[in-house]
Amino acid sequence: MPRPGPDPTFSAAPGPRTADLVADAVRGGILSGELPPGTPLREEELSATYGVSRHTARTALARLTAERLATAEPYRGVRVSLLDDAALVALQQLRCALETEALRIVRERGIHPPGIDDALDDLARAEDSGDWPATLEAHARVHLALVDAAGSPRIAEEYRRLDGEMHLLLTHVRPAYGPGALTVEHRAYVTAALADPERAVRAHLDHSTRAILDSRR
């Protein structure tokens, strides 16, 4: 677990906020790779590490499970999620369907997605700084800017439900990208996706899927 001993920050915070802080800390460990897939997340260890009650630790784990960053399994407890090959492919297929439809609407309406240029610039700055959490957030903003431009609350809502798994997916693919490579790839992707959504989205997601699968071989 991250943090070796009780932290007064957690015990001083009010009820639900304390669970948020614990979930934030564990989420950071998962997305940094410090807590690799399959790592057990035990209530008693969280309670001791952060100096919080078992109930608070359980609430934090429930939030991570709802985000699909953690998985609760009968007789095995809660563990950091592992996107196995089948789960990875299924996630990418759903992303492809949602993002393609959003971009089809964007193209039909002749929209230049508001915020997409700023999101790409944020991604470049995050990569340049070597700040991985900021890179994850900026990457998410690039894709969300494209999806939100369609003006479909249902598509945007469903896409946001995948946010935790998408962060986890990018953490898995991190070794395949050198400094600045995500920005270069996504600038090209945005240009292609606005011109030919069906082809560009599928090619983009197929590329990332292959990169992860190849890294597991």
Whether pLDDT at 4 is above 50: no
d(CA 130, CA 38): 26
Helix or strand or coil: residue 73?
strand
Is the Cβ–Cβ distance between 205 and 119 less than 8 Å?
Answer: no
Q: Where are the domains of the chain?
A: 8-80, 85-216
Confidence label for 128 from pLDDT (cuts 50, 70 and 90): very high
Q: Which residues make Cβ contacts (< 8 Å) with residue 104, sequence separation at least 6?
A: 197, 198
Across 123-127, average pLDDT: 96
d(CA 27, CA 70): 9
Instruction: Tell me how crowded residue 123 is: count the other CB atoms within 10 A of its CB.
Output: 25
**According to CATH, what is the number of the domain 85-216?**
1.20.120.530
Confidence label for 16 from pLDDT (cuts 50, 70 and 90): low
Q: Tell whether domain 8-80 is in CATH 1.10.10.10.
A: yes
pTM over 0.85: no
Confidence label for 198 from pLDDT (cuts 50, 70 and 90): very high
Longest dimension (CA), the chain: 55
Mean pLDDT for the chain overall: 88
- Which two structure tokens, joined as six digits, stand for 21? 């802080």
DSSP assignment, residue 81?
Answer: -
pLDDT tens for 46-76 read: 999 999 999 999 999 999 999 889 999 888 8
